[in-house]
A and B are shown apart, each in its own frame.
Chain A
Amino acid sequence: MSEPLKTRVKPTLDELFAVKRAERPEQSFWDDFERGLRQKQLAAIVLPRPWWHAPSLWARKAAPYGGFAAAAAALALAFTTLRAPVAFEGSANTALSASARGVVAPLDKSVAVVRPVSAPAAPAELASPPLVAAGSPAGGANGAAAEAVVVAAAIPARLEITLSASGASLAGTATAFGGDIPHFVAEPVAAEVLPLAPVLAEAPLPEGLLIEPPAVLRTRHDRLLAKALEDTPGEEDRSLAQVRERVVHRLADGEELYASITRVGVSGDRLSLKF
Chain B
Amino acid sequence: MLSSTSTLDATVDAGAERRREAEADRILVERVQAGEVERFDQLVGKYRERIWAVIYHMTSNREDAADLTQDAFIKAFQSINRFQGQSSFFTWLYRIAVNGTLNHLQKNKIRRFFSLEKIRDEEPVANLLDQLADPGDASDRRACLSELQQKLNEAMQKLSNKHRTVVTLYEIDGLSHEEIAEITGTSVGTVRSRLHYAKQLMQSDLKEYLGT
Contacts and interface: CB of A to CB of B under 8 A. Distances in A.
Q: Give the most central of A17, A19, A23: most B CB within 10 Å.
A: A23
B53 to A, nearest CB: 7
B176 interface: no
Given A18-B128, A24-B118, A5 B210 contact: no
A5 B119 CA distance: 18
B132 A7 contact: yes
Contacts of A18: 124-125, 128
Contact of A40 (B71, B202, B203): B71
Interface stretch (B23-31, B72-80, B101-109): B72-80
Given A33-B70, A41-B74, A44-B74, A22 B122 contact: yes
Contact of B210 (A11, A24, A25): A11
A9 B117 CA distance: 24
A15 B147 CA distance: 14
Interface string B155-174: 00000000000000001100
B36 interface: no
A7 B134 CA distance: 9
A15 B209 CA distance: 12
B149 interface: yes
A24 B124 CA distance: 15
A9 B125 contact: no
B49 A24 contact: yes
A18 B116 CA distance: 15
Contacts of B122: 22
B152 interface: yes
Interface residues of B, number: 48
Interface in A1-35: 1, 4-5, 7-26, 29-30, 32-33
A85 interface: no
A41 B77 contact: yes
A25 B62 contact: yes
A73 interface: no
Interface string B118-134: 11101011001001111
A25 B118 CA distance: 6
B119 A19 contact: yes
A198 interface: no
B32 interface: no
Nearest to A4: B208
B120 A24 contact: yes
B104 to A, nearest CB: 15
Given A5-B151, A16-B152, A40-B70, A33 B128 contact: no
A3 B56 CA distance: 27
A37 interface: yes
B192 interface: no
A8 B131 contact: yes
Nearest to B131: A9
Interface of A: 1, 4-5, 7-26, 29-30, 32-33, 36-37, 40-41, 44
6 contacts: A5-B147, A11-B210, A20-B152, A23-B117, A33-B66, A33-B69
